[in-house]
Chain A
Amino acid sequence: MSMSGSAVELPVTTEATGAEAPLTSRQLKRQLRLQEAKTKLSSPWASGLAILLAILWTIPTFGLFVTSFRPASDIVSSGWWTFFANPGVTFENYENAWSGNGGLSAFFLNSFVITLPAVIIPISLALLAAYAFAWIEFPFRGVLFVAVFALQIVPIQVTLIPLQTIFVNFGLQNSFWPVWISHTIFGLPLAIFLLHNFMKEVPASIVEAARVDGAGHVKIFFVVLLPLLVPAIAAFAIFQFLWVWNDLLVAIVFAPSPNLKPITAAIAELSGTRGSQWELLSAGAFIAIVVPLAVFLGLQRYFVRGLLAGGVKG
C-alpha cells in the first residue's frame, strides 16, 4: 500500500503558482481544472452539504463549551443557544471545578504523573526491540516478530485480573506502578510493529557503512538510527500520550483510589454522582479535554502521519 503520511498534506494548489508559470503550463492547468470539475462531485449543493455536516459535527462540543462559561443559574433556566441573545460570562465554573468542590487539580496532576512515564518507557523499549528485529540477524527472528505482531489482538480486558494478581503478589497494588507497567505492556506490540516498519525504511547502505567503520549495534542504534527516527517517534509518542491521557479502563482498575485517580476517571465519576450539575461537568470536561486538544492542534501533522501508519498499515 503506497499511502504515506505525506499524501495527506498534498492539497492541489493550482492557483498559487499560476502567475509566473509559462503559457503552456497555464493552459495545462486550465485543462486540469476543467477535468477536475468533471471528476468531482463539486457543486454549490456539495459545498453546502459539507458546511452543514461540519457545523453538525461541531455543535455538540461548542454547546458544552459555551455552557462552561455561563452562570449556573442561567444554565438551568435556559438553553446555551440563548447565550447569544442574553450573554453572561463567568469563570466561576472553572474555578469551582479546578479547586472548589470539583477539586480536579489533584486529578490533573495524577494524569500528568501517570502519562509521562507511560509514554517514555514503552517507546524506549519498543525502539530497542524494533532495532533488533530490523537490523540484528538471529534465529527465529521472523517467527518472533509475527508473535509480537499477533499479541496486538489481545484485548486488555483479557489480561486485567491475572495482572492484578501479579501486582498484588509484588505488593505494588494501589500505587502508580501498576498503571505505568500495564500501559507500557499494552502499548508495546503496536509500538514495536510501527517503529520496526520505520526502521526498515532506513537504507541498508547507511547501516552497513557504519558497521564497516567498526560501530557496534549499540552505537549504530544511537548514532545512526535514532536521529533518523525522530518524526516516527513523535508520531507514536502523540498516540501513546492521547491513549494514556484519555484512558478510563486501566485507570479505574489499577488506580481506583482518589490519591491516584487520573482526570478522566474523576470526570466519569462526576458524571455519575453529579450528573445534573452542568456548571461543574461542563467546565470539568473542558479541563480534561484541553491538554489532548492542545496536543492535537499543535502537532496535527505528526498525529495524522501516525494515524495513517497505524491505521493503514495495520
Chain B
Amino acid sequence: MDWFLNPTSVSDKLIVMVVAIVLFVAIMALILWLIDRPNVPNWLVVAGFLGPVTIALVVGLFYPAAGTVWRSFQVSQAAVGPDGKPVINPNTGQKTSELVFSFANYDKVFTDPSFQKVLLNTVWWVILVPVVATVFGLIYAVLVDRTRGEKLAKALVFLPMAISMVGASIIWKFMYEYRQEGAPQIGLLNQVLVWLGLDPYQFIITEPWNTFFLIVVMIWIQAGFAMTVLSAAIKSVPDDIVEAAQIDGATGFKLFRKVTVPTIRPAVVVVITTIAMGSLKAFDIVRTMTGGNFGTSVVANEFYTQTFRQGEQGVGIGAALAVILFVIIIPVIVYNVRQMRLSEEMR
C-alpha cells in the first residue's frame, strides 16, 4: 500500500489521484443506487443525499472547532501524583505532563507586549485593507464605467485576484527590494526615491511602517474584488431613480453622492465585510514577506508560528489566537447577513 499513502513517482501520484476520484465516485454511486428504487422511505433518501456531507462537516469542522475552543482554555504542566511528587512515565523515565483548565493562554495573548503588537497590527489590517480597497474600487469603477476599454481596464485591476497571495508577495518584495546607497537599485520604489534625490529605504524591515507596506499588498489584491462587485452594483442602479434626481437638478458628483452611493450601500457593506474577513484570516503575505519578523506579525500568522513552531506551550496559545479570530468574525458575519436580509425585504 506504499503507493496509496506515500506515492513518489509521477505515475504513482497520478494513479493515486485517479484512485481517489474513482473511489469517491464509486461510493457515491453505490449510495445513490441503493436509494433509487420505489418504496424507499423518505428519510433514507435524505440520508443518502445529505449523509456524507453531514459526516464531513460534523467530524471535519464542528468537532475540531469545539476541540480547539476547549484546548484554548488548557495549559500543559507537569503532572503531580497524589503524593505530591511529579509523575514519572515508567517507560521513558521522563516527567509526564497534563493539561489543566486555565485562562493563562488568553492572559498571555492580551497582556504580553509582543502579542499586543500582533493584535494591534491585525487591527490595522482589518481596518485599512477594506476601507482603502473599497474606496479605490468604487472610484475606479465610476471612472471606467461606460468608457471605451472598460473591459481591459477592469481586467488589469482584477488580475491580482487570480494571483496567489504568495505570488503577490514575491511581486511586491521585488518592488520593495533594497540596495545600499550608491549601489544600483533593482527595486522600483527605491529607484524612485533615488531619482527624487532621497536615500533608499528598507521598506520591509524598518518598523513601524513596514506593516503598512505589507498592507499595501493586500489592498492591491482586494481592490479588484471591490471594483468588480461595486461596478455591477452601479450598473444596476435603476434609471428612473437617476432620471428623477436629474430632474431635481442633481448632476456630477452630487448625483453620485446623493443617489448612487445610497443605492449601492448594501453592496458596499458586503464588500467591506468580505474583505475584512479575508484580511483577518490572510497569513500568506506576512508569512512570505517577513515570516512575521520585524514586528509585522498578525493573528493568523502568529497562530501558525505558535501552533506549529513553539511546541506544547505554543499549541494552547495558538488555539487561543484561533478562537480570537473566530470571535472577531462572528459579529461581522451576523451584521452582513442582517444587511442582506434587510435589502431582500426592501426589494
* A positions within 8 Å CB-CB of B: 1-3, 7-8, 10-12, 35-36, 38-42, 46-47, 49-51, 53-54, 57-61, 63-64, 67, 75-81, 109-110, 113, 116-117, 120-121, 124-126, 128-129, 131-133, 136-138, 144, 148, 151-163, 166, 171-172, 174-177, 180-182, 184-186, 188-189, 192, 216-219, 242, 245-249, 252-253, 259, 264, 267-268, 271-272, 275, 278, 281-282, 285, 288-289, 292-293, 295-297, 300, 303-304, 307-308, 311-314
Given A61-B160, A129-B50: A161 and B184 interface contact (C-beta under 8 Å): no
| B59 / chain A contacts, CB cutoff of 8 Å | 166
A138, B42: Cα distance in complex, Å: 8
Interchain Cβ contacts under 8 Å between A and B, 27 examples: A10-B235, A11-B151, A46-B143, A58-B156, A75-B186, A78-B184, A81-B191, A120-B21, A121-B20, A129-B49, A136-B42, A136-B46, A155-B329, A158-B323, A160-B64, A162-B64, A177-B5, A189-B57, A216-B36, A246-B163, A246-B166, A248-B165, A248-B284, A289-B164, A289-B167, A293-B162, A303-B162
Instruction: Name the residue on B nearest A82 (C-beta).
Output: B184
B42: chain A residues at CB < 8 Å are 136-138
Q: Which 4 A-B pairs have the closest CB atoms?
A: A246-B164, A185-B60, A296-B162, A162-B64
Q: How far is the CA of A133 from the CA of B159 in the complex (A)?
A: 35
Q: Is A64 within 8 A of B174, CB to CB?
A: yes
Which residue from A8, A246, A249 sits with its C-beta under 8 Å from B283? Answer: A249
Contact A162 B53 (CB under 8 A): no
Q: How would residues 226 to 242 of chain B score, 1 for a CB under 8 Å from any chain A CB and 0 otherwise?
A: 00110111011000001
Complex Cα–Cα for A242 and B158 (A): 14
Asked if B185 contacts A79 (CB within 8 A), the reply is yes
Binary per-residue interface labels of chain B (205-224) against chain A in the complex, 1 for a CB within 8 Å, 0 otherwise: 00000000000000010010
Instruction: Tell me which of A131, A163, A218 has the highest count of chain B C-beta atoms within 10 A of its own C-beta.
Output: A218
Tell whether, in the assembled complex, residue B36 and residue A218 are in contact, meaning their CB atoms are under 8 Å apart.
yes
- Residue in chain B with minimal CB distance to A42: B147
Whether A159 contacts B151 by the Cβ 8 Å rule is no
Residue of B nearest to A39 (CB): B255
**B32 at interface by CB-CB < 8 Å:** yes
Contact B246–A35 (Cβ < 8 Å): yes
Q: Is B304 in contact with chain A by the CB < 8 A criterion?
A: yes
Asked if A151 and B61 sit within 8 Å, CB to CB, the answer is: yes
Q: Give the CA-CA distance A247 to B167 in the complex, in Å.
A: 11
Name the contact of B64 in the complex, choosing from A81, A133, A159, A249 (C-beta under 8 A): A159
Smallest CB separation, A91 vs chain B (Å): 19
Residue of B nearest to A307 (CB): B228
Which residues 302-322 of B sit at the A interface, judged by CB distance below 8 A? Answer: 303-304, 307-308, 315, 318-319, 321-322
Whether the pair B166, A259 counts as a contact (CB closer than 8 A) is no
Please measure, in the bound complex, the distance between the C-alpha atom of A153 and the C-alpha atom of B287, giving whole angstroms. 23
Residue B340 at the A interface, CB < 8 A? yes
Which one, B143, B150, B177, B236, contacts A3 given CB within 8 A? B236
Of the candidates B4, B64, B157, B246, the one whose C-beta lies within 8 Å of that of A53 is: B157
Residues of B close to A117: CB separation below 8 A = 17, 20-21, 24
Of chain B, the residue at the smallest CB distance from A6 is B232
List the B side residues contacting A2 at CB < 8 Å: 236, 347
Q: Which residues of B contact A267 (CB under 8 A)?
A: 166-167, 170
Q: Is B109's beta carbon under 8 Å from chain A?
A: no
Q: How far is the CA of A81 from the CA of B143 in the complex (A)?
A: 28
Contact of B142 among A41, A113, A154 (CB under 8 A): A41
B20: chain A residues within 8 A (beta carbon) = 117, 121, 176-177, 180
Contacts of A35 in B (CB 8 A): 243, 246
Residues from chain A with a CB closer than 8 A to the CB of B88 are none
